[in-house]
Amino acid sequence: MLALMLVNAFVARPFAVPSASMENTLRVGDRLVVNQLAYSFGGHVRRGEVVVFDGTGSFLPYAEETPAVQRFLSAVGLSSGNGSVYVKRVVGVGGDRVTCCGADGRLKVNGVPLDESSYLYPGDAPSTVAFDVVVPAGKLWVMGDHRSDSRDSRDHLGEPGGGFVPEKKVIGRADWVVFPIGHWTSFDRPASFAAVEGTGGHGGQR
């Protein structure tokens, strides 16, 4: 039991998908295994990765920080937390300029248009909300794959923090869906994000 608690707290942690904001990549009720060591040894979150994060201070700008005891109990699986945990896809990292949408109707990172066909929900536009942001150092711009049913960085532009998620609030990278059995899969970073490498941000250093 102690070994399982330690693994849950520091290595691989299960999460249940609470909403349709990441369909069809993730569906309501899917159980994820989140790799909490993915960024623990000097690595940075990369564009295109699906991450689980604590939205306190960003998506929940006025929420108080969860007490340390409750955070620990949640980490070892003895508490469900306070509803501040989200799962989204990283579109921009610190230093990136993210814009949408120009005449071509596509989302761009540092001027490079993204081909989002491999993960964007069928029939959805990249965004119905126009935006042009530069991601501050140490922050992330995140969006759901089901753009028409996702409250993500776009919805918090006018709030404290501007919709940017501090990288230090990332709990881990979503690596696998393990339940239900019919949804078993592992996640690969979409190939389209390779086109943005070397254009700026810490993502260009990898």
d(CA 87, CA 42) in angstroms, rounded, equals: 22
Which amino acid, residue 149? Answer: D
CA-to-CA dists, residue 28 to 20, 84, 178, 180, 200, angstroms:
6, 17, 13, 11, 35
- Is the alpha carbon torsion for 204, 188, 119, 194 positive or negative? positive
Report whether 135 contacts 98 (CB < 8 A). yes
- Residues annotated as part of the active site: 21, 88
